[in-house]
């Protein structure tokens, strides 16, 4: 058993788990992964052994318990990545932090009506005006961030950052639900989906057999 364990939900559906997992991967630390399938008696039986909130993700690192995705991303940055998961430029960092926090607390319609579902494709959900508002906000936010950092690299803030991890599940949704996006954002989606760590996650998600009925949205 490793000293560092990340407890996550199903890779196919658990968007909060993906965010924390990706930051840990990018920080280079070796960690043990424990998958507790969401919405199962097993999850209910075991989650209390790890998580004070009974939610995933939760990180157990040398006796410390760190819960909540954004806290795990920040902890990974400080403890394992030497601060490299935020850019040096304070303006970019401020923008990235605002975006990460907006993702963490916002986009309620996008999250509930278009749940992350990595293995699904060509799903159609009806887009009402409130969902459209979330989609439009997400597209304009990502597009302007990419335009601002285009000279520094392919990620949202140039180099990979916590902001990319927070928005990775949004890219999954763009793909699953066929959301039309501008060219620069389309290129970003392709780059993120072909990242080796993201591919590893996707491959594992496709192999899972669990189905969470309420997260199977769309026709
Ligand atoms: N704010 C939390 C949300 C975590 C969350 O809602 N996790 C879901 C899975 S993606 C969960 O554990 N659901 C199980 C439950 O609520 O019983 C975070 O950012 O980590």
Return left, alpha or beta for 212; rule: phi > 0 is left, psi -120 to 50 is alpha, else beta. Answer: beta
pLDDT at 150: 96
Rg (CA), the chain: 17
Domain boundaries, the chain: 4-83, 90-202
Q: What is the pLDDT of residues 124-167, one digit of tens each?
A: 999 999 999 999 999 999 999 999 999 999 999 999 999 999 99
Looking at the DSSP bridge assignments, the partners of residue 35 are 8
Which is more confident, 103 or 219? 103
Residues 6 or more apart in contact with residue 43 via CB below 8 angstroms: 9, 36, 37
Indicate the helix (H) or strand (E) that contains 42. helix 41-46
pTM of the predicted structure, to 2 decimals: 0.97
Q: CB neighbours (10 Å) of residue 145?
A: 22
Query: How far does the centroid of ligand 1 lie from the alpha carbon of residue 82, in Å?
Result: 27
Domain 4-83 - what CATH class? alpha beta
Q: What is the pLDDT of residues 55-96, one digit of tens each?
A: 999 999 999 999 999 999 999 999 999 999 999 999 999 999
Average pLDDT of the chain to the nearest whole number: 97
- Judge contact between 28 and 80, C-beta under 8 A: yes
Angle CA(143)–CA(78)–CA(80) in degrees, nearest 5? 100
Query: How far does the centroid of ligand 1 lie from the alpha carbon of residue 174, in Å?
Result: 21
Q: Is the pLDDT of residue 178 over 80?
A: yes
Query: How far does the centroid of ligand 1 lie from the alpha carbon of residue 16, in Å?
Result: 7
**Atom of ligand 1 minimally distant from the CA of 104:** 19
**CA-nearest residue, atom 11 of ligand 1:** 55
Please tell me whether the peptide bond between 57 and the residue prior to it is cis, using omega within 30 degrees of 0.
Answer: yes
Kindly tell me the burial class for residue 22, based on how many C-beta atoms sit within 10 Å of its own C-beta (0-12, 13-18, 19 or more).
Answer: buried
**CA-nearest residue, atom 5 of ligand 1:** 55
Q: Does domain 90-202 have CATH number 1.20.1050.10?
A: yes
pLDDT at 149: 97
**CA-nearest residue, atom 1 of ligand 1:** 68
Q: Is the pLDDT of residue 180 over 80?
A: yes
Q: What is the pLDDT of residues 10-32, one digit of tens each?
A: 999 999 999 999 999 999 999 99
pLDDT at 2: 76
């Amino acid at each position: 058993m490793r000293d560092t364990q990340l407890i996550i939900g199903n890779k196919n559906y658990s968007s909060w788990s993906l965010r924390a997992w990706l930051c840990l991967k990018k920080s280079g630390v070796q960690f043990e992964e424990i998958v507790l399938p969401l919405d199962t008696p097993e999850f209910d039986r075991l989650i209390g052994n790890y998580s004070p909130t009974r939610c995933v993700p939760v990180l157990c690192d040398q006796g410390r318990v760190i819960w909540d995705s954004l806290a795990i991303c920040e902890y990974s940055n400080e403890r394992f990545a030497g601060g490299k998961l935020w850019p040096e430029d304070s303006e970019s960092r401020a923008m990235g932090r605002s975006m990460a926090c907006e993702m963490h607390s916002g986009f309620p319609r996008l999250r509930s009506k278009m749940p992350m579902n990595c293995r699904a494709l060509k799903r159609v959900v009806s887009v009402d005006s409130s969902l459209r508002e979330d989609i439009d906000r997400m597209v304009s936010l990502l597009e302007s961030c990419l335009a601002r950092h285009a000279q520094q690299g392919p990620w949202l803030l140039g180099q990979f950052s916590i902001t990319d991890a927070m928005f990775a599940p949004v890219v999954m949704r763009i793909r699953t639900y066929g959301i039309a996006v501008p060219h620069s954002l389309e290129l970003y989606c392709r780059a993120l989906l072909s990242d080796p760590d993201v591919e590893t996650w996707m491959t594992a998600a496709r192999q899972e057999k669990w189905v969470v009925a309420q997260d199977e949205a769309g026709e």
